[in-house]
Amino acid sequence: QQPVQSPQAVILREGEDAVINCSSSKALYSVHWYRQKHGEAPVFLMILLKGGEQMRHEKISASFNEKKQQSSLYLTASQLSYSGTYFCGTEEAGGTSYGKLTFGQGTILTVHP
């Protein structure tokens, strides 16, 4: 079952912050975050494994609450280059296919000057 992302779209001005959430109905082993620009393939941002850890990639960080089966992506002091569609991808705990991800529906982030 597909994880649910919220919000569906975010519009920011440069320098503002945003949070994107990803929620699953299933127990998770890991959560991935990817960014996709229009007409291009997704690009990996970070992976979070169960354990409630936080990760950081430049001014983008993420957290994973395995008990709540939720992850959040935090974009701080947004830049124009952050614009794109953000997808979370979840890997189920105890899954039979290693590396198999189910992606959320995506969150469209637009950063204006």
Partner 1 sequence: GAVVSQHPSRVICKSGTSVKIECRSLDFQATTMFWYRQFPKQSLMLMATSNEGSKATYEQGVEKDKFLINHASLTLSTLTVTSAHPEDSSFYICSVEGVTGELFFGEGSRLTVL
98 binds partner 1 per the rule CB under 8 A = yes
11 binds partner 1 per the rule CB under 8 A = no
List Cβ neighbours of 60 (8 Å cut-off, separation of 6 or more). Answer: 45, 46, 73, 74, 75, 76, 82
CB 37 within 8 A of CB 103: no
Q: Select from 8, 49, 45 the least CA-distant residue to 31.
A: 49
Please, what is the minimum distance in Å from the beta carbon of residue 22 to partner 1? 12
Please, what is the minimum distance in Å from the beta carbon of residue 99 to partner 1? 4
Q: Across the chain, which distance is largest between two alpha carbons, in Å?
A: 45
Q: Which CB sits closer to partner 1, 61 or 102?
A: 102
Chain residues 23-62 in contact with partner 1, contact rule CB under 8 A: 30, 32, 34, 40-44, 47, 49
84 binds partner 1 per the rule CB under 8 A = no
